[in-house]
Amino acid sequence: VRRARRAILILLVLGVGGAVISTAIAEYIGWSGRVKCEASPQHRFVAIGGKVVWAEDFKGAGWRCLSWTVTDRDSAAAAQYEYDKPVKFYSGHLDSSYLHPDAPETLPRWAHLWDPADWPPEQKEYVYVPLFTAADMGVGWPLPAFTIYWDTSGRNEWRGGTMLATPRGSGLRFWVWRPIARGLLLDSLFWAAALLVPVGTARSLIKLRRRRRGACTACGYDLRGLADGALCPECGAAGRVASAPA
C-alpha cells in the first residue's frame, strides 16, 4: 500500500510538473514577443461554408500564427493564382474554377476559422493587400498548448488571452489562458517524461546515501546493529541490511 501510494504521488508530481512546465513555456513565448506574423508565410485556402478562408500560416520555434480573412471563391482564386505563379497583381478575370483549395488538415483545429459564427464582420470592400482581419496564435512546445484569438477587423477584440504592448521590432506580445486540450495534454506528458530523468536520479542518489550510512533505503531509518537480512523495524522493507557497515 505504501509503495502504491508513493508511486501515485510520484506520478501526480510528474503530471503536475509537466503541466506547469508546458504552461510556463507557452506564457514565456507569448510574453517574449517572438511571435511574428510578418515574413514568408504559407498561403492556405480552405473552403468553409460556401466561402474561402484565406490564411497566412506563420511558424516558429514554439509558436504558430494564422492571420486570415474570409473571402468569396473568385477573389480567393485570384489570390491563389498570384501565389502560384507568382505574379504581383493579377488584373484579368479569373473565375473560381481556378481555385484548388488546401486540405482542411493543413490548418489546426484550435483556430477560430472553422465556424462561420466566429468569423469577423465582413469587410465593406475587398482589400487586395493581404491585410488580415483575424489572427489565431498558438504557443507551446513541442506542440501549441494555449491559443489566443485576435479579431483585427475593426472591433479589435481578443479572446482567450490579452494583448500586451509591443515595443519596436518586437513581435506580438500577449498572455494567454485558453488551453488547447490535445496540445496541453501531449506537452504535459512530454515534460513529465523529461522530469523522470532528474526525479529518478535524485531518488537513486538518496538511496545510495542511505545505503552508505547503513540506513534503510526505503525510509532512511538507521539499521546499524541489526542482523543481516532483517526487516526494517520502521517501514518493514526487507533485505536492505546486508551492506550496512558494522
Q: Per rule CB under 5 A, is residue 215 in the interface with Zn ion?
A: no
User: Given candidates 219, 226, 230, 231, which one binds Zn ion under the rule CB under 5 A?
Assistant: 219
Tell me which of 235, 239, 241, 246 binds Zn ion, using CB under 5 A.
235
Examine residue 158 and tell whether it contacts Zn ion (CB under 5 A). no
Smallest gap from residue 219 Cβ to Zn ion (A): 3
If one asks whether residue 237 binds Zn ion (CB under 5 A), the answer comes out as: yes
31 contributes a contact to Zn ion by CB under 5 A: no
- Least distance CB 227 / Zn ion (angstroms): 15
| Residue 196, number of CB atoms within 10 A of its CB | 14
Output 9 or 87, the one with its CB closest to Zn ion: 9
**Shortest separation between residue 216's beta carbon and Zn ion, angstroms:** 3
Other beta carbons within 10 Å of 5: 9
- Residue 216 in contact with Zn ion, rule: CB under 5 A: yes
Instruction: Answer yes or no: are the C-beta atoms of 28 and 19 closer than 8 Å.
Output: no
Take residue 13 and report the three cell numbers written for it: 508530481
- Total number of residues that touch Zn ion (CB under 5 A): 8
Residue 199 or residue 219: which is nearer to Zn ion going by CB?
A: 219
- Is 198 or 233 the residue whose CB approaches Zn ion more closely? 233
Among 32, 221, 226, 231, binds Zn ion (CB under 5 A): 221
Where b means 16+ CB within 10 Å and e means fewer, 113-127 reads bbeeeebbeeeeeee
Find where cell 513529465 sits. Answer: 192
Peptide bond between residue 104 and the one before it cis (omega within 30 degrees of 0):
no
Pick left, alpha or beta for residue 102 (phi over 0 → left; psi -120 to 50 → alpha; otherwise beta).
beta
φ and ψ at residue 8, rounded to 5 degrees: -65, -40
| Residues binding Zn ion (CB under 5 A) | 216, 218-219, 221, 232, 234-235, 237
